[in-house]
Amino acid sequence: MSALAFTYTPVAAAATHVPHSYALVGLVLLPLVGAIIVFSLKTEQAKLAKQLSFLISLAVVVYTAIIAIDFNTDKHITTANQFQFAGSWVWIRDFGVHIAFGVDGIALVLVLMAVILVPCVMLASWNSLDSKSGAEEVAAPGAPQRSVKNFFGLMLLTEFFMIGVFTATDVFLFYVFFEAMLVPMYFVIGSFGGPRRQYAAMKFFLYSLVGGLLMLASVIGLYVTTGSRSFAITDLIGHVPQGATQKWLFLGFFLAFAIKAPLVPFHTWLPDAGAEAPAGGAALLVGVLDKVGTFGFLRYCLPLFPQASKYFAPTILILSVIGILYAAFLAIGQRDMKRLAAYTSVAHFGFIGLGIFAFTTQGGTGAVFYMVNHGFSTGALFIMLGLLLSRGKSRNIDDYGGVAKAAPIMAGLFLLTGLSALALPGMSTFVSEFLVLVGTFTRHKGLAVLATTGIILAAIYVLYLYQRVFQGPAREKTAGFRDVNAREIAAVAPLLALILFLGIFPKPVLDIINPAVKQTLHEVHQTDPAPKLGPNSVVAGGTK
């Protein structure tokens, strides 16, 4: 499977041998080059811009798939060689920073999820800018035409930053991607969003920026306190001094990621940004960009600051559980569909936080799998909402009713999406939620029990939404709704297919994730607690 002549370079001898695999550099640059080409098109060439962007995003999927097939899941992992396809080049010698890429199982599955979501989002947004029937709201009279090529260019640019942020193995480079990623999303929200887009874009940017700057303080602190002349993550692990320093540095990273994730009480930007962003942008924002926060917990907070992670874990676990319950209640009370979807995500992030900070293999593996599933599930949810809004031109749930009669296929797809959001058994989301809860239960029984009630609440907000929008008597407005066409089905179907497939057969993904999670826990000096439930205790399949 070395069609692109990937050479797997062992990183074990990092001290003497610097790896130079170009595989990931190519992957990162592909969407960037695409974005530059699309931006350089003329505004009139909207159609070409769409087709070109879609093709590039498909090429990225193929490229990533080849890397995934080439990925070695049986390798014995140590701190030094945990990244595959590693490549590292000096960037700024005096700062000790490198252009360094590499993936472990966690990064790989997240990159896969992100690149699969992008073409789906593009398909779903195909007509949302340049046709009245595709727009999410009735355009104000005299409102200028929005630039199609800019939207698709920004999507590719966002993809570039997403891949970069997941594959960077140098803390400085990660930070650069983490911050710079805000800019294209800021323009997606601000240029293509709803009525309060200026406010939402600004709020999104400033929240993330404050978190990012606190993280910058910690990044510099890492450099100073470890005395390491390098920002490579493998050079930093295990070198952060214990005690108060480590706690402060941890907090810098943690706050940035908690705002990004977002963890209650740092979540208030997400409902605004999620609601005002165009549906495609929201799908990427909530589905992928926010995963950077939870990914950051696993990749940076835990291995770099093991002692502080353990110290703060109880607080974070409690915040996560509060998030699960609080956001679920808020979701039930929403009238704005996109805000509702955003709040469901806040609740789901609670589960991910729970899984990560429970420090068990099941919990960790479940959390990573949860991130992947949530990306697909929320992506599909926002895409479906976008399709619904393009017909109803309103985000208010009360304006709808009986849509299922006019558009039965749409209702079916929406129901499937909704069921994946509430983690119905048979869906991949169920596997991950179950793993998280089992993983949590072995350490924190009370919290696991409380979190489980979140599943019931999820059923309420999903089914209540479905009932109000799709069931009941058809309104005058909804009676004329067009059912989904082939393009729209093609945008959602792959995501739902993946959710169903991984729900029945999650092993391939879990096999990729598991070694990386074990290594991460090893770096936090945590081992799974011995089972105390008796000899017949059930341990979730696929993790063993």
Residues that bind another protein (CB under 8 A): 91-95, 144, 175-177, 179-180, 182-183, 186-187, 190-191, 197-198, 201-202, 205-206, 209-210, 213-214, 216-217, 220-221, 223-224
Q: Are 469 and 401 in contact (CB under 8 A)?
A: yes
Residue 204 CB, nearest approach to another protein (Å): 10
User: 209 or 459: whose CB is closer to another protein?
Assistant: 209
Q: What amino acid is encoded at 258 in this protein?
A: A
CB nearer another protein, residue 184 or residue 418: 184
Q: Which is nearer to another protein, 221 or 366 (CB)?
A: 221
Min CB(206)–another protein separation in Å: 6
* 3-class SS of residue 336: strand
Smallest separation, CB 16 to another protein (Å): 23
Query: In 3D, which of 213, 230, 241, 214 has the Cα closest to residue 304?
Result: 241
Distance of alpha carbon 231 from alpha carbon 209, whole angstroms: 21
Q: Which of 156, 174, 157, 155 is nearest to 165 (CA)?
A: 174
Which tokens sit at 332?
A: 């039930």
Work out how close the CB of 30 gets to another protein at its nearest, in angstroms, rounded to a whole number.
18
Closer CB to another protein, 62 or 213, in the complex: 213
Q: How far is the CB of 191 from another protein (least distance, A)?
A: 6
Q: How many CB atoms lie within 10 A of CB 5?
A: 7
Angle at CA of residue 123, ends 118 and 124, nearest 5°: 95
What does 206-269 look like in DSSP terms, one character per residue?
A: HHHHHHHHHHHHHHHHHHHHH--S--BHHHHTT-SPPSHHHHHHHHHHHHHHHHHTTPTTS-TH
Nearer to another protein, 22 or 199 (CB): 199
| Min separation Cβ 179 and another protein, Å | 5
Closest separation between CB of residue 17 and another protein, Å? 23
Nearer to another protein, 63 or 187 (CB): 187
Two structure tokens written together for 405: 């009669």
SS3 percent helix, strand, coil of the chain, rounded to 5, is 70, 5, 25
Q: Which is nearer to another protein, 276 or 433 (CB)?
A: 276
CA distance 267 to 342: 10
In the complex with another protein, which residue's Cβ is closer, 190 or 364? 190
Owner of token pair 């082939």: 486
Distance from CA of residue 302 to its chain's centroid?
Answer: 18
Question: Which of 406, 385, 418 lies closest to 496, judged by CA?
Answer: 418
Identify which of residues 132 and 196 has a Cβ nearer to another protein in the complex.
Answer: 196
Supply the minimum distance, in Å, between the C-beta of residue 180 and another protein.
Answer: 5
C-beta separation of 325 from 343 below 8 A: no
Total Cβ atoms within 10 A of residue 398: 10
Nearest approach in angstroms of CB 280 to another protein is: 18
What is the distance between the alpha carbons of residues 238 and 524, in angstroms, rounded to a whole number? 9
For residue 181, give the nearest of 114, 233, 127 by alpha carbon: 114
The least distance separating another protein from the CB of residue 208, rounded to whole angstroms, comes to 10
Q: Can you tell me the distance from the alpha carbon of 284 to that of 291, in angstroms, rounded to the nearest whole number?
A: 10
* Residue 363 CB partners (closer than 8 Å, separation 6+): 354, 355, 356, 435, 436, 438, 439, 440, 443
User: Least CB distance from residue 88 to another protein, whole Å?
Assistant: 15
Structure-block tokens of residue 167? 């594959």
Which is closer to another protein, CB of 54 or CB of 248?
A: 248
